[in-house]
Structure 1
Amino acid sequence: MLESLVVDNFTIIEHLEVDFHHGLSTLTGETGAGKSIIIDAIAQIAGAKSSKELIRHGSDKATILAEFSHFPFSSLKKLFEQNDIDLDEDYLSIQKEIKKNGRGIARINGSVVNGSFLRQVGDHLFNIEEQSKHQQLLNADAQLALLDAFSGKKLVQTLASYEKTYRELRSIKLKKEEIQKKNQDLKERLDYLKFADQEITEVDPKIGEDQRLEEKKIQLSNFEKISSSLQQIQTLIGGEDSIQDLLGQAQALSDSLENYGSSYQKIADNLTNAIEAVNDAMSEVSDVSDTLDLNDENELELVMERLSSFDQLKKKYGGTLEEVLSYQKKARSEIKFAENSEQSLKEYDEKYRLYLEQAHQLADKLTDIRKKSADKLEPLINSELKTLEFQNSKFEIKFTKSELQERGQDHLMFMVQTNIGEKMLPLAEIASGGELSRILLALKSVFSQFFENVTFIFDEIDSGVSGRAAQSMADKIYQIARSNQVISITHLPQLAAMSDYQYLIEKKIVDNRTISSVRLLDQKERVDEIAQMLTGTKMTKVTKDHAMEMLELAQKSKERE
């Protein structure tokens, strides 16, 4: 139950605080006073989309705070646990801030939550019916959703199994179509892929081989220079008057200096290291010279041919040998896919057949549950319609079978006969605004008994209704309010008189700014407001007496209830 609402800088509301109560509360006032703005503020708490246009002109942000007690704790507990948010059984608060950029920040019990979670919580706390949404009742999907809500847990469980099967069915179909499309694309290039694989396989390149062959090509192309340089190095290191001879002489001299002090030892050590380094270099030159076999024109020709074959592959399949081999790997994968696709399609066909059979079985079960629920719902709606001045009306739910959809195979339509002798026609074809409002209320009245501590919000649900039908609607809304909190915007004096609490929404000009305010009316003020609603112009003693009589009759009616 919504206990209190605090609104700051929201459209024409500068600051508003209002306490609500269990039972039926009506919001009355002149057109344009801001009644619907309060419903809009509640809708923000329930998860409606934010907009910077909702911020009062000249303000940095709009803020809405709602506090609840006696809310559907059991149904919310699991949802809160899944999102790691604490939930007290006796208190719940929701705050919504709308920033200048239009972004909304919501907090539940102080914890920041996203819009999706806020909407889920709002669905548990509120059942909001705005005048602009009445037409949704004419939509077949909305009618199916209402019947499913009436059908209860058995349908929920079966529908969950069906939806899981249907999703798998669609997934199999998409995968099958993907294979077929890929197969079609491959047919046009399969020969090329096989040729590419064979061509790369014949060359059989290895990663880095081109770099090694490029180095060898340089060596083979410069054989004379390399051979000559190696011979000169060997002469310089080990020939007559070579580096080795000179270093040997220097080492002998350094050895003779050791007798003159330890400081000469470092010279001897360095010369020893130099001799070892020169010997190592000579050994390496000798090893290279012994294995040198670069004067082979046939080998150079072979290297050039192989490098040329690499260049051809790179031009076709990638700029490097790594890319060429990657292309071959992908080509082989696609070739294998094409070779195995027929078998895959057969497997998917069998899998699809099994899931399709299962989906049809579950869809049939859903149809059976829905038809049994419709048989129970129809007399309840017909009974409610009679209390709403549809004495000769008849309500039926018509089923037609469709292709498998997300919620089964049922396409249904709410059919109504409003007068004896007329045909049963879809609700959308026969209902006027007033008739639609009463039929909607009949549905709400039936479904209200399945809600636990939900706040019903009615925004001018009585639009287009007058006379006896208006009183019938007032009585029906009061019946809903006996087990649920109801907040209703109304222009009907009959409904205002039946309310337990009546709030007046007023609009006034302060410092050249429009401000909307709300206050709870006492008994005397209610008489004046209902009299004003009766006349629409100047009140008279007659209208005031009439208003007082309406309140007295309403009180007696409530006592009988």
Structure 2
Amino acid sequence: MLRRLTIRDFVIVDRLELDFAAGFGALTGETGAGKSILLDALGLALGGRAEAGVVRAGQERADIIAEFDLPQQGGLAAWLADEALEAEEGAVILRRVVDAGGRSRAWINGTAVTLAQLRAAGEWLADIHGQHAHHALLRAEAQRELLDACAGARAIATEVARCHREWQALANLRREAEADSANSARERELLAWQSKELEELAFDGSEWDELNAEHSRLAHAAGLMEGADETLAALGEGDYAVCAILRHLDGRVAELADIDPGLADVRELLSAAAIQADEALHALRRYRERLDLDPQRLAEVERRISTVMDTARKYRVVPEALPELMSQWRERLATLEARSDPARLEQAEAEAYGRFGAAAASLSALRRPAAEALSREITEAMQTLAMAGGRFDVALEPSQPSAHGAEIVEFRVAANPGQALRSLAKVASGGELSRIGLAIQVMTSRDSATPTLIFDEVDVGIGGRVAEIVGKLLARLGRERQVLCVTHLPQVAACADWQWRIAKVERGGQTLSEVTPLSSEERIEEIARMLGGVNITATTRDHAAEMLGQR
């Protein structure tokens, strides 16, 4: 569960440190007080999109830290270990900093991470349902993904999509081969001839630098020999050879240093110079012994360079690119040769289709019972959400094979008794969609392994008895998970295990958001405010106390 949320300079929040409890918690307050801002900050810590506008006016950066208990279930602990982000003392700490320019940085357990890593960790820790989430249910893609999540079929759905891409690629390859067999034969012949030419050239990209270095050395051999001989004479020959002089001076200063230790540093420098001069002399002698005029080898190198240059010009590339060009030709030739065998292409296509069919059948086998269970549960929930006699159905219609499997997923609803089931996108009114969407979110969240569930004003468009039922649904969910809900409805807030009031305050000439945990008596006042508005009467307070006592 979420233990603590620390927010610094985020929108209208200056500094907040919030400690969260288990169960169902309600966040209430006037419109615009900053209730959703808290959830936006948490969403940022979970890897949400960052914008420069989230930084409080006049500040350099916004800083959000969210501390969670490490879930015992799921794969987060193993994932953290694999990423070298192990949790300490059973806690997972996510941090996000956004500067005034919109750039952001992220950390997990004190280690800098990418946004993708932060988002991956966040998916194990919390699930946020926005106030307009039910509108997403009108999209076929969202309906299919929700069913696959309920069925535990996300992995096999990904495999189905991969198998479909593989099958289609091979089918396209076969069709192209059939339509262009003559051109393919000509291209194969040309590529084979060109590849053979480069193979015979046997040119390695690293050879080019070596050839040019050797050519430079051979072309300037006379000058190199003359310079080496001159340097050898200066270093090691005659009475005034540098090495001999340095050795003599080293010995002389050594004698002086025995008298005056203050010359020890000078003696050390001279000794090092003498040693280095001797090493240079020996190295130069070895170099000079290998150096010789070799007109024949020079001619060979020049011919090789000329051949490589001619070939590179022929194919309009730099010499270093010839090996890569040959690799591309071989790859293309292999593709064309594969196309030239229709029987093999058909077999490969059939095998790929078989793999796709098997994966799609496995996906269908997971979807069917999940669709039946979800249909039954949402239908039952509709009976208590002012849609008595209504029905909900997750239809699986057979379709042509696609990247999404062998069927189309469609949510259908009959909001009233006697009505035929029709597409959710076509028949649900705004209020009905809101209630059905909330039921779906609550039901599907119950099956999720995510320990913290967050609902941001998902109760918009409902009220009265339905609102009370929604509150009880969330309270029941709160017995299994940590549930946080931003709400304007007193019926929902009264069902919470604990409640915070969010309000705007003026401080230092600035408008800021303030969070106050409410006691039992303060909850009565807040529920009364939500019921009665500006003028709160004794009757309103009694009603609020009664609502809280009914939990």
SS of residue matched to 1:124: helix
Write out per-residue CA displacement over residues 193-248 of structure 1, whole angstroms, 9 at most, x where no aligned residue: 899999x99xx9999xxxxxxxxxxxxxxxxxxxxxxxxxxxxxxxxxxxxxxxxx
Q: What is the aligned counterpart of 2:481 among 481, 484, 497?
A: 484
Aligned equivalent of 1:442: 439
Specify the alignment match of 1:462 in structure 2. Answer: 459
Alignment partner, residue 162 of structure 1: 160
For residues 331 and 446 of structure 1, the distance between their equivalents in structure 2, rounded to whole angstroms, comes to 54
Confirm or deny: 8 A CA contact 1:504 1:518 kept in the other structure. Answer: yes
Q: In structure 1, what residue type is equivalent to 2:437?
A: L
Return the alpha-carbon distance in structure 1 between the equivalents of residues 173 and 541 of structure 2.
73
Q: How far did residue 55 of structure 1 move?
A: 0.5
Matches within 5 A, 1:491-506: 491-506=488-503
1:504 Cα shift?
0.6
Distance of aligned partners of 1:322 and 1:361 in 2 relative to their CA distance in 1, 3 Å threshold: closer
Aligned-partner SS, 2:66:
strand
User: What SS is found at the alignment partner of 1:31?
Assistant: coil
Counterpart for residue 47 of structure 1: 47
Q: In the TM superposition, what whole-angstrom CA distance separates every residue of 1:50-102 from its partner, at most 9, and x where no partner exists?
A: 11111111111100111122634542112112212112462221111112331
Alignment gaps of 5+ in structure 1: 208-309
Aligned residues: 452
The offset of 1:520, in angstroms, is 0.4
- Compared CA separation, residues 95 and 337, structure 1 to 2 (3 A): closer
The CA distance in 1 between the partners of 2:170 and 2:457, in whole Å, is 48
Q: CA separation in 2, counterparts of 1:2 and 1:320?
A: 60
Q: What does residue 92 of structure 2 align with?
A: 92
Q: Match of 1:414? A: 411
Once the two structures are superposed, the pairs formed by residues 69-468 of structure 1 within 5 Å of their partners are 69=69, 71-88=71-88, 90-152=90-152, 155=153, 158-159=156-157, 161-173=159-171, 317=314, 340=337, 342-452=339-449, 454-468=451-465
Deviations 1:321-345 (A, max 9, x none): 979x999979996996698364245
Which structure has the bigger radius of gyration? 1
The answer (yes or no) to whether the contact 1:9–1:61 under 8 Å persists in 2 is yes
Q: Which moved more, 1:33-42 or 1:402-411?
A: 402-411
Shift, 1:481, TM fit: 0.9
Q: Which range moves more in the overlay, 422-431 or 72-81?
A: 72-81
Residues 476 and 345 (structure 1 numbering): CA distance in 2 closer, same or farther, change over 3 Å? same
C-alpha spacing 1:181/1:87, structure 2 compared with 1 (3 Å): farther
Residues in 2 aligned to 1:336 and 1:139: alpha-carbon distance in whole angstroms? 44
The alpha-carbon deviation at position 452 of structure 1 amounts to: 3.5
1:179/1:476 CA distance change after superposition, 3 Å: same
User: So what's the TM-score if we normalise by structure 2?
Assistant: 0.72
Q: Distance in 2 between matches of 1:86 and 1:498?
A: 37
Deviation at 1:26, TM superposition (A): 0.8
Query: How far off is 1:404 after superposition?
Result: 3.0
Decide whether the 8 Å contact of 1:73 with 1:89 is kept in 2: no
How far did residue 140 of structure 1 move?
Answer: 1.6
> 1:328 and 1:159, CA in 2 relative to 1: closer, same or farther beyond 3 A?
closer
Residues 182/67 of structure 1: CA separation in 2 closer, same or farther (3 Å cut):
farther
In the other structure, the counterpart of 1:22 is 22
Equivalent position amino acid for 1:340 in 2: E
Aligned to 2:507: 510
Tell me, what secondary structure is at the counterpart of 1:448? helix
Between the aligned partners of 1:339 and 1:123, the Cα distance in structure 2 is: 45
Instruction: Name the SS for the 1:94 alignment partner.
Output: strand
Which deviates more from structure 2 when the two are superposed, residues 342-351 or residues 501-510?
342-351
Q: Deviations over 1:412-466 (max 9, x none)?
A: 1111111012221211222233322321232233233323461111111110101
In angstroms, what is the RMSD of aligned CA positions?
4.0
**Does structure 1 conserve the Cα–Cα contact (< 8 Å) formed by 2:339 and 2:345?**
no
Shift, 1:383, TM fit: 1.7
Could you say if the C-alpha distance between residues 6 and 185 of structure 1 is closer, same or farther in structure 2, counting changes exceeding 3 Å?
farther
- Cα separation, 1, equivalents of 2:473 and 2:318: 82
Structure 1 residue 2: Cα displacement: 0.6
Q: Does 1:533 align with 2:530?
A: yes
What is the CA deviation profile of residues 502-549 of structure 1, one whole-angstrom value per residue up to 9, with x for unaligned ones?
111111222321111101011222112111111223212222222122
Q: Is the contact between residue 434 and residue 462 of structure 1 (CA under 8 Å) also seen in structure 2? A: no
Q: Mean Cα displacement is larger for which, 534-543 or 482-491?
A: 534-543
Alpha-carbon spacing, 1:42–1:72, altered in 2? closer, same or farther (3 Å): farther
Which stretch shows the higher mean deviation, 166-175 or 84-93? 166-175
Q: Are the aligned partners of 1:206 and 1:321 in contact in 2 as well (CA < 8 Å)? A: no
Amino acid at match of 2:464: G
The CA distance in 2 between the partners of 1:426 and 1:42, in whole Å, is 35
Secondary structure of residue in 2 paired with 1:347: helix
SS in 2 for 1:102: coil
Q: Say if 1:25 and 1:488, in contact at 8 Å, map to a contact too.
A: yes
Q: Classify 1:435/1:188 alpha carbon distance in 2 versus 1 (closer, same or farther; 3 Å).
A: same
- Contact kept in structure 1, 2:123 and 2:450, CA below 8 Å: no
Separation of aligned partners in 2, 1:425 and 1:497 = 36
User: Does the residue aligned with 1:371 lie in a helix, a strand or coil?
Assistant: helix
Alpha-carbon separation, structure 1, partners of 2:66 and 2:385: 34
> Partner of 1:483: helix, strand, or coil?
coil
Q: Distance in 2 between matches of 1:103 and 1:321?
A: 41
Deviation, structure 1 residue 22: 0.7
Give 2:519's aligned residue. 522
Closer/same/farther in 2, CA of residues 336 and 498 from structure 1, 3 Å limit: closer
Checking the alignment, whether the CA contact within 8 Å between 2:454 and 2:483 is kept in structure 1 is yes
Deviates more, 1:536-545 or 1:1-10: 536-545
User: For 1:96 and 1:328, how far apart are their aligned partners in 2?
Assistant: 46
2:343 and 2:325 map into 1 onto residues whose CA distance is 28
Structure 2: gaps (5+ residues): 204-306
Distance 1:333 1:487, change over 3 A: closer
| Alpha-carbon shift at residue 5 of structure 1 (Å) | 0.8
Q: For residues 321 and 107 of structure 1, what CA distance do their matches in structure 2 show? A: 45
Give distance in 1, aligned partners of 2:415 and 2:45: 38
Following superposition, the deviation at residue 484 of structure 1 comes to 0.8
Segment drifting more, 401-410 vs 352-361: 401-410
Q: 3-state DSSP class of the match of 1:138?
A: coil
The 3-state SS of whatever aligns with 1:105 is strand
Change (3 A) 1:188 1:168: closer
Residue 36 of structure 1 and its aligned partner are, at CA, apart by 0.7
What residue is the counterpart of 1:475 in the other structure? Answer: 472
CA deviation map 1:385-416 (0-9, x unaligned):
22323221111111222333333122111111
Whether the 8 Å contact between 1:4 and 1:20 is mirrored in structure 2 is yes
Give the Å deviation of 1:473.
1.0
Q: Percent identity?
A: 31
- The corresponding residue for 1:226 is none
1:350/1:89 Cα in 2 relative to 1: closer, same or farther (>3 Å)? farther
Report deviation, 1:117. 1.4
